[in-house]
Amino acid sequence: MRSLFGGRPRKIFTQGRELGAYRNELFERTDRINTRLVQVADDIEALRRRSLDPDEAVGRLTIHEDALDEESDGVFEMMAPEELHGLHMEYEANLERALRGIVTVERGCSITRLPHRPPDDEEPHTYYKRGHANVTHARLRMAEIVEVLLTWEPGKPAEATVAARLERTHKA
């Protein structure tokens, strides 16, 4: 589109298009990540209840970990609007926290393979519980951040704090 008063051609709504493209990609990626994290939490919970064998759990968790690593790389490469950089980085940090939770559970599974471990040893279950808490808490925080990232409007503050959440719920 040309300017009414001459000059160079200008594209209108480019910021809106970029924000829309960011939101679409973010929604698709975070939906896949959240679905995968729910599966991870279910597998860890089955391991904690002793209804899943540790060797089988390691196989499943490795598949989940590899898939989440790929998604993490994709999230890292996304270009967030400048105002959303902080929240985008916090999302990445929580995804890394969930991955550390998976590694913690895998470490607990490896303890079960030690030759001199007593059969009623509770140490692996401590690892399972800690890993489950990391995955669950990271997933919940990531959901809060995604809600803010997807509903943010240019010119408004991008906050995912408890106070901001309470303010949003009071307005609704």
10-residue mean pLDDT profile of the chain (172 residues): values are 51 67 93 97 94 93 96 91 90 96 95 83 92 97 93 81 70 68
Of 72, 68, 75, 71, the closest CA to residue 22 belongs to 75
Q: Domain of 88?
A: 14-171
Inside any domain, residue 46: yes
Inside any domain, residue 6: no
Inside any domain, residue 64: yes
Q: What is the mean pLDDT of the chain?
A: 87
Inside any domain, residue 101: yes
Inside any domain, residue 2: no
Render pLDDT for 101-128 as a digit per residue (tens, 0 to 9).
Answer: 999 999 999 998 888 888 778 899 999 9
Inside any domain, residue 150: yes
CATH of the domain at 156: 1.20.120
Per-residue CA distances from 18 to 59, 86, 140 (Å) = 39, 18, 27
Domain count, the chain: 1
Render pLDDT for 37-54 as a digit per residue (tens, 0 to 9).
Answer: 999 999 999 999 999 999
